[in-house]
Structure 1
Amino acid sequence: MALGNGLRIVWLDTYIGVMGEYIALKKQFQNAAEPVASMPPGGINELICCIEENVAPIEFVSTIDDALALIQYETDKRIIWISSGTLGEQIIPKIVSEYPRVYFFYIFCGYVQRLVEWALDHEYENMMKIVDTEPVLLVHLTRDMSNDIIKLGESYMKLLDGKSAEKCFVAAQKLEKNANAVDSLRNCAPLLTRLSMLEGPNGLIQKAQDLNGSQS
């Protein structure tokens, strides 16, 4: 079950179209430039499913109007936005000015430097992460969410709620492992820093289990 009950992820992409289905998205990855073209689409699909299972639903929309309608509907949710740079430039200024519950933006584009300059000009640098491909974006999103969930788990530990803390830490572990799996398909070294915090006899998962056991 996703831990971010008050969170939604809105992904605006002209080529996705059908909400909740990833076939078109996987085709995009297959058709993209190297090294993405050599990446099995299953790894991407698994990462998306892992985010939905452990963080929050990803709502896929194909038009700006549909994205805005979704933001307007989800009045009680904090929202993370994902889109291409082209679509983002068109709509992000309106979102920032009118919908503050959209609190962070992940943007992928072919010309990162130009979009970075645009973000700096609009003072968006603290609310935006810009990368050059969707797989890299997904890995960044996954690890950012893992970091947030670990912090949430640590808060539960301070409240002596070992059961809730363990759920957070196990979810973060799944996210980190899935991100590393996608990175391995891109011939990138795994990131083990957070896994070393979570795993092992002195890891956060074990500490939460110990706390939970002491209260049984």
Structure 2
Amino acid sequence: MALNSAYTIIWLDVHIGSKANCRQMKKDFEVGLVETAAVPPLPHDPIDDLICAVREYSAPIQFADTTNDALNLIENSVTYNKKVILISSATLGKEIVPEINKQQLPIESYYVFCGNIENNRDWGSECIDNGLDIQMFDHQTTLLIRLCRDMSKILKKDGIAVLNAKKPEFALKYFEFAYALAEKAVEYDTPTDSSDKHHPSTEHRQELNSLMAKAKQDMK
């Protein structure tokens, strides 16, 4: 059962739009079944994998490689009462944010990929001072790990609301998808070097396991 997500994610980035990039994601979501069957196995790409997870478990992702295209996607999403999350490269983000503000388009949150955060700190801080929910990252995998965790928390919150509305079967799906996204974040946040002392957060496990058990109990 797929979720009828209240969100849509719009990704503004020339790199992602390139045919050579994120090929598995495009194979899975952008071509027909006959074409897909003809595509040979592709090398593993963590960015690909994370994008597919976000799109499968939480919200549709639409891609744009120009500011105008992204603005059109935002306007269309707002028309259909979707909450918009915008991911952007720093260069295009700096360009589109003033236009979004000028047109008074509602954006839930911004995720910005910067080759160099320090070079973009001033305009990013200005956005935050103006009340925008903006986060900057210097690596796309790190950005997507955070997005997985954030969307997991949104799904958990929505699932609790659905559970309180006495719809446990739907709530269970929210919790399962929230768990899957959070686990995907753990997978890619786990160091490959055994000497690295970083431990990814697994705090979601106890609460979501409890919520899933509650939903299953309410279904009986």
Aligned length, in residue pairs? 196
- What TM-score results when the alignment is normalised by the length of structure 2? 0.79
2:66 corresponding residue in structure 1: 63
Confirm or deny: 8 A CA contact 2:152 2:178 kept in the other structure. yes
1:47/1:79 Cα in 2 relative to 1: closer, same or farther (>3 Å)?
same
Confirm or deny: 8 A CA contact 1:2 1:55 kept in the other structure. no
Letter in 1 for 2:46: G
1:84 maps to 2:89: yes
Which residues of structure 2 form unaligned runs of 5+? 27-42
1:18/1:212 Cα in 2 relative to 1: closer, same or farther (>3 Å)?
farther
- What TM-score results when the alignment is normalised by the length of structure 1? 0.80
SS in 1 for 2:8: strand
- Over the aligned positions, Cα root-mean-square deviation in angstroms equals 2.5
1:17/1:110 Cα in 2 relative to 1: closer, same or farther (>3 Å)?
closer
- 1:100 Cα deviation after fit: 2.7
1:127 to 112, 118, 133: 133
Report Cα offsets for 1:179-212 as digits up to 9, x if no partner. Answer: 111112565523110112112xxx1111110011
SS in 1 for 2:10: strand
Which residues of structure 1 form unaligned runs of 5+? 27-39
SS in 2 for 1:16: helix
Aligned residues with identical type, % of pairs: 33
Tell me, in whole angstroms, the C-alpha distance in 2 between the residues paired with 1:186 and 1:61. Answer: 33
Equivalent residues in 2 for 1:24-173 (5 A)?
A: 41-74=44-77, 75-76=79-80, 77-122=82-127, 123-124=129-130, 126-173=132-179
1:192 maps to 2:199: no
Equivalent residues in 2 for 1:170-185 (5 A)?
A: 170-184=176-190
2:211 corresponding residue in structure 1: 204
